């Protein structure tokens, strides 16, 4: 059987769903990168914290559980900005990146300490489980969460486009991302714009936490860790300098992962990361500035 | 040095260092309401450094900067902008990917009166070329148009004091005329202007007073009649 024959509608639906989730994570990472020039490796731990919140509120009604998840993730994002990013704002990118690694592992350790109190690692999150049920659309089994993921991604990206394009704070965020120093000289308040970007990024992390928890209801300290690494790679492959290229990069790597996962025979899925990263190397050799960068112009601009 | 009571901007014994190098030394400078004051001197004299210190981008080692009698704090340029000082930076620093209107709207960020889109009309009146190209990408404008945009964007903030860092740099002579004409119109609106320039003679002739800086120190203060006094102009640069 040829590889292509295995890529059926089912696989494509799942791949689009994964792409949508990764696109949301890419936007969350890209928004903060835009204003802080900081790659937040701890983004996955925000998602993890949201997933644990869902697990610990399993007995709550779905809406309450989801609201708690968003509240925790947004609060943690703001705390991270205040306690870690703000004091390091003028540090070198390397210092900031390494610091976010430290924050990521700190949060993971805290999660482990909280999690093992019942002598097992992993907490089931059942409040949002109904979203995991499948419905049949035109002969294809689509889990409700796939529809939710795609729907949330489209709505969130649409709202974000409106916010960035039509509002004053959106204009200020774009200006801060393009040239922070000049933006401040024009009266754009740095703290406000950064806090706004961090909150938006936190909202997206909350949404991702809900979707990933439905797909994988056993929450453990390394929840979303692998996804974050893949998304970060996708963001770089797409082009981190621009929000939309970063988003497309996130979607693409999610979609590619989904398709390759579907195409590989079950016993070969251990080779999934190798296949995905081989693709990444190929892309970076062919288009070092990013898959969706605007030709050579993008390189010249950065100098 | 005692300052006139109606000074809007005062620099008092300003000292700014770049590492161990003194870029500006004990500089006293004041700007009266509605006045145009020039700041000239050779490269490295400390002109841009002075503007950056006023905006709070650079922290002074000593001395004070006061706007309407109140000391400005270094480190937060957005607060200085919102207090009423607008800078037209060297190299214009417009947002090339944004439309002309969006660039101007960014100038509203410094306003605290919640003024909206209508605040842009005064700028369109002053620079009609911007009104015609308001929906164009700013990066597609010519250098002269971009300079008008940079000045317009600063004016949208409705500042008390306008700082300009070499606005005529790299512009064709006819565009330089446009810029200087606009500055005269801006003064008529009651805005005080501090103009850093390389075009010494033109600046001295145009400004009410012109400070000459060299090696970070005030060398002399010139007035318009000095513009035609070639010996004094040369002395200003060579002394």
Each residue of B148-198: pLDDT tens digit? 999 999 999 999 999 999 999 989 999 999 999 999 999 998 999 999 998
Contacts with B105 from chain A: Cβ below 8 Å: 168, 171
Domains of chain B listed by start with CATH number: 1-84+161-166+194-239 (3.40.50.300)
Cβ–Cβ contact A3 with B under 8 A: no
Dump pLDDT digits (tens) for B62-75: 999 999 999 998 88
Dump pLDDT digits (tens) for B102-150: 999 999 999 988 788 888 999 999 999 999 999 999 999 999 999 999 9
> Mean pLDDT by 10-residue block, N- to C-terminus, for chain A (303 residues)?
61 91 96 91 96 94 94 97 91 90 95 90 82 71 83 93 94 94 96 95 96 91 92 88 90 91 79 80 79 54 34
Task: Specify the higher pLDDT residue, A294 or B59.
Answer: B59
Mutate to test the interface with B, among A185, A188, A243 (most CBs of B within 10 A): A185
Of A171, A174, A187, the CB nearest to B157: A187
Per-residue pLDDT, averaged over B227-236, amounts to 81
Cβ–Cβ contact A183 with B under 8 A: yes
Share of chain B above pLDDT 90, in %: 80
Task: Please name the residue of chain A whose CA is at the shortest distance from the CA of residue B114.
Answer: A168
Please tell me whether residue B213 adopts helix, strand or coil conformation. Answer: strand
Asked if B81 and A190 come within 8 Å (Cβ–Cβ), the reply is: no
Asked if A175 and B57 come within 8 Å (Cβ–Cβ), the reply is: no
Phi then psi for residue B35, to 5 deg, are -95, 150
Contacts with A188 from chain B: Cβ below 8 Å: 78, 106, 109
CA distance A137 to A17: 14
Closest to A175 (Cα-Cα) out of B113, B228, B153, B122: B153
Number of neighbouring beta carbons within 10 Å of residue A144: 14
CATH of domain A3-302: 1.10.3470
Q: What rounded mean pLDDT belongs to chain B? A: 92
Q: How far is B222 from chain A (nearest CA, A)?
A: 30
DSSP of B9-61: EEEEEEEEEETTEEEEEEEEEEEETT-EEEEE-STTSSHHHHHHHHHTSS--S
E strand or H helix that includes residue A93:
helix A93-115
Q: Are B209 and B223 in contact (CB under 8 A)?
A: yes
pLDDT at position B4:
64
Q: What is the pTM of this model?
A: 0.88
Contacts with B158 from chain A: Cβ below 8 Å: none
pLDDT at position B75:
87
Closest to B194 (Cα-Cα) out of B27, B31, B8, B16: B31
pLDDT at position A4:
53
Dump pLDDT digits (tens) for A159-202: 999 999 999 999 999 999 999 999 999 999 999 999 999 999 99
Q: Are B223 and B203 in contact (CB under 8 A)?
A: no
Dump pLDDT digits (tens) for B28-40: 999 999 999 999 9
Q: Are A145 and A214 in contact (CB under 8 A)?
A: yes
Mutate to test the interface with A, among B52, B77, B86, B103 (most CBs of A within 10 A): B77
CA distance A255 to A92: 33
Asked if B89 and A183 come within 8 Å (Cβ–Cβ), the reply is: no
Q: How far is A187 from chain B (nearest CA, A)?
A: 4
């Amino acid at each position: 059987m040829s590889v292509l024959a295995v890529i059926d509608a089912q696989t494509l639906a799942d791949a689009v769903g994964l792409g949508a989730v990764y696109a949301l994570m890419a936007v969350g990472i890209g928004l903060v990168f835009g204003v802080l020039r900081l790659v937040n490796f701890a983004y996955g731990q925000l998602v993890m914290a949201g997933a644990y919140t869902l697990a610990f509120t399993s007995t709550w009604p779905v809406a309450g559980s989801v609201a708690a998840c968003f509240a925790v993730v947004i609060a943690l994002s703001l705390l991270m900005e205040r306690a870690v990013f703000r004091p390091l704002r003028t540090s070198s990118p390397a210092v900031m990146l390494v610091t976010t690694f430290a924050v990521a592992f700190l949060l993971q350790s805290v999660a482990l300490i909280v999690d093992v109190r019942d002598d097992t690692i992993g907490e089931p999150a059942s409040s949002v489980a109904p979203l995991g049920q499948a419905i049949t659309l035109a002969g294809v089994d689509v889990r409700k969460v796939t529809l939710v993921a795609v729907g949330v991604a489209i709505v969130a990206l649409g709202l974000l486009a409106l916010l960035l394009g039509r509002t004053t704070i959106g204009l200020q965020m774009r200006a801060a991302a393009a040239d922070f120093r000049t933006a401040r000289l024009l009266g754009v308040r740095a703290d406000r714009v950064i806090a706004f970007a961090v909150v938006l990024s936190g909202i997206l992390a909350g949404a991702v936490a809900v979707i990933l928890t439905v797909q994988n209801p056993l929450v453990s300290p390394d929840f979303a860790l692998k996804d974050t690494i893949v998304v970060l790679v996708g963001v770089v492959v797409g082009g981190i300098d621009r929000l939309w290229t970063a988003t497309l990069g996130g979607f693409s790597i999610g979609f590619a992962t989904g398709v390759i996962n579907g195409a590989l025979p079950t016993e070969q899925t251990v080779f999934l990361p190798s296949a995905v990263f081989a693709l990444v190397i190929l892309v970076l050799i062919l288009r070092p500035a990013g898959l969706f960068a605007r030709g050579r112009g993008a390189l010249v601009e950065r100098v | 040095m005692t300052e006139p009571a109606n000074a809007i901007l005062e620099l008092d014994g300003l000292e700014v260092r770049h590492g161990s190098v003194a870029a500006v030394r004990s500089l006293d400078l004041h700007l009266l309401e509605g006045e145009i004051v020039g700041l000239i001197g050779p490269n490295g004299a400390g002109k841009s450094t002075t503007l950056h210190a006023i905006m709070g981008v650079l922290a002074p080692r000593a001395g004070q900067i006061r706007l309407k009698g109140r000391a400005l704090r270094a480190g937060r340029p957005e607060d200085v902008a919102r207090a009423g000082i607008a800078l037209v930076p060297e190299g214009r620093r417009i947002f090339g990917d944004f439309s002309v209107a969006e660039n101007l709207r960014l100038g509203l960020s410094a306003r605290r009166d919640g003024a909206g889109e209508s605040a842009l009309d005064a700028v369109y009146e002053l620079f009609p070329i911007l009104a015609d190209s308001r929906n164009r990408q700013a990066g597609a404008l010519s250098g002269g148009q971009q300079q008008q945009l940079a000045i317009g964007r600063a004016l949208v903030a409705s500042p008390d004091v306008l700082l300009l860092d070499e606005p005529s740099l790299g512009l064709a002579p006819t565009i330089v005329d446009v810029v200087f004409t606009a500055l005269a119109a801006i003064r008529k609106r009651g805005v005080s202007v501090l103009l850093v320039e390389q075009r010494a003679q033109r600046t001295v002739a145009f400004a009410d007073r012109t400070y000459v800086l060299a090696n970070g120190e005030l060398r002399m203060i010139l007035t318009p009649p000095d513009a035609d006094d070639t010996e004094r102009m040369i002395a200003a640069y060579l002394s």
